[in-house]
Amino acid sequence: MLVAAAAAGALVAASGVGLGLWAASDGDGPAAGSATASAGTAQASPSPSRSYPLSRAPRTIPAVRDHTAGRGPGWRPERTHRVVVNDGALADEGRLIAGELGLTYAGEKDDERDGDLRLVLNRDAGANPESYTMTVRGGRVTVSGPGEAGVFHGTRTLKQEVRGAGAAPEGVVRDEPAKQRRGLMLDIARKHYTADWIEDRIRELGDLKFNELGLHFSDDQGFRVASDSHPEVVSEQHLTKAEVKRIVDLAASRHITVVPEIDSPGHLGAVIAAHPDLQLRDVNGRAVRGAIDIAKPGSAEIVDDLLDEYAGLFPGGRWHLGGDEYQALAVSDPEASFPGLAAAARERYGSGATVEDLTTGWLNDRAATVRAHGRTPRAWNDGFFRGGSARAAKDVEVAYWTGKEIGARPPAEYLGEGREVVNYNDEFLYYVLGEPLTFVYPTGERIYEQWTPLVLRGTTAVPERYDEQVLGGSLAVWGDIPRAQTQDQVAAGIRLPLAATVQKLWDPDPPELSWEEFRNLADELD
């Protein structure tokens, strides 16, 4: 964390000696009465600003990455203050923060008044659209950024400052995330969550500057979103399309992308229950739980029908295809156990092809389906295989969660192939209800003190040279034993892990606060 907490540090930051994070400022550098002015000689004329101590950096989660200190009263919201914007595109952000702080939203205005909170869009194609600058000076606040998301993040910083300290400190904040994907994934297939509860999580995620919510809504235990193309697969407890639209719209207003997941070719038990003819069977005729027979054309047809249908319901840029734990590959000799799959593989890929090749082909075909809708595909790491006649498409993001599967590949193999990876490390980021097998509930303390985005598997980090390929990370809530916790218990259980996770995704430097200090801050801001 880079904080100019002393006058000398403020002078350096104000003089334009860059930190390498932001190519250009918004023109709101320190002025008279700021840290630069206060760093003058003892002979300088006195000014009213000298009666104020040098400000300290805001106390927020995630912590701001750069603060240039200043001298002044700061800014405290009052009912007579306005929120004004320079661009109508910021109307939603303006109305939201006005309502949260009890201010008046005045829309697009050119005049300046005491106490104004001004939101400014400075469109700069070369800048990080999630970056922002917040200037507190002269009894006013300006939050500016190259994109709407950045301005929104700036309002979250301001909201936390007011909630925690009652006021925003004088000075200039320059801030941006280190990682572009910062997420929470919810398994709503095995445990049904109400739309209201999911919306509450979206508000929580937005305030913490997360930008992704994954919804795993199809599994063996349930299919939880209404369907027009295949209503027969939908579970009794499910989200209506109207509820999903409300969730997606609320997420978009917080600059959060909802990433849907229909896991296949495993974890399709709810679909198979309505279409038992598509269930995979071994050489002895035994049904394989949750596994669809990928040699049958009908299997691809039903999954593609669903992917096509939901493309309009989930308009975000990414789509999770699953791809994990296909039970045909969990036996010692898949070709002998599933001769039908082996024959289909040889027919498609040649005489030496395997069931792994056919499974890779399935993943590529589903990737093509969502790619046609402008989506970037993502799949769990155990859906990618070493060698073979078929290779997973290069643009499929790797959701790395484990290294415990048969033929497990270390994270560096995926990265060495040039693949982009999102960190779901099950040693730190898996919140599995009921703690089955070897899982234990993750703690914010362990994430805060031991995990980084480069720790993809176990507790060992991949080499620093792969940093740009690790797009970010996600906490994942799984419903293996759905009744083990209520919705409220899940919300309470993930509160501190979420805070710790976003701190490590936003700022690449070791945290300045101890865990106890960070936990106390989280309680103050709650």
pLDDT digits (tens, 9 = 90+) for 161-178: 999 999 999 999 999 999
| Residues in the chain, overall count | 526
407: left (phi over 0), alpha (psi -120 to 50) or beta: left
Q: What percentage of the chain carries pLDDT values higher than 90?
A: 88
Q: At what angle do helices 241-253 and 195-207 cross, to 10 degrees?
A: 10
pLDDT of residue 163: 95
- Condensed to tens digits (0 to 9), the pLDDT of residues 422-465 reads 999 999 999 999 999 999 999 999 999 999 999 999 999 999 99
172 DSSP assignment = E
- Does residue 6 have a pLDDT over 50? no
Quote the longest CA-to-CA distance of the chain.
94
Q: How confident is the model at residue 22 (pLDDT cuts 50, 70, 90)?
A: very low
- Does residue 13 have a pLDDT over 70? no
Mean of the per-residue pLDDT values of the chain: 91
Q: For the beta carbon of residue 405, count every other beta carbon within 10 angstroms.
A: 16
Q: How confident is the model at residue 120 (pLDDT cuts 50, 70, 90)?
A: very high
Q: Which of 25-29, 80-84, 139-143 has the lowest mean pLDDT?
A: 25-29
Q: What is the pTM of this model?
A: 0.90
pLDDT of residue 313: 97
Q: Which of 24-28, 328-332, 519-523 has the lowest mean pLDDT?
A: 24-28
- Residue 474 parent element (H or E): strand 470-478
Q: Which of 16-25, 62-71, 312-321 has the lowest mean pLDDT?
A: 16-25
DSSP 141-154: EEEEESSHHHHHHH
Q: Kindly give the residue spans of alpha helices, DSSP state H, lying in 372-508.
A: 411-416, 444-450, 487-506
Reduced to 3 states (helix: H, G, I; strand: E, B; else coil), residue 278 is helix
Alpha-carbon distances of 327 from 124, 220, 290, rounded to whole Å: 49, 13, 8
393: left (phi over 0), alpha (psi -120 to 50) or beta: beta
The arithmetic mean of pLDDT across residues 240-247, rounded, is 98
Reduced to 3 states (helix: H, G, I; strand: E, B; else coil), residue 327 is helix
pLDDT of residue 33: 33
Beta strand 140-145 with 132-137: parallel, antiparallel or unpaired? antiparallel
Query: E strands along 146-271, which residues?
Result: 171-175, 181-187, 212-218, 257-264
- Condensed to tens digits (0 to 9), the pLDDT of residues 494-515 reads 999 999 999 999 999 999 999 9
pLDDT of residue 3: 38
- Does residue 100 have a pLDDT over 90? yes
Distance CA(134)–CA(252), nearest Å, equals 22
pLDDT of residue 50: 58
- Condensed to tens digits (0 to 9), the pLDDT of residues 355-399 reads 999 999 999 999 999 999 999 999 999 999 999 999 999 999 999
pLDDT of residue 10: 34
Q: With beta carbons less than 8 A apart as the criterion, state whether 232 and 267 touch.
A: no
Q: How confident is the model at residue 28 (pLDDT cuts 50, 70, 90)?
A: very low
Q: How confident is the model at residue 125 (pLDDT cuts 50, 70, 90)?
A: confident
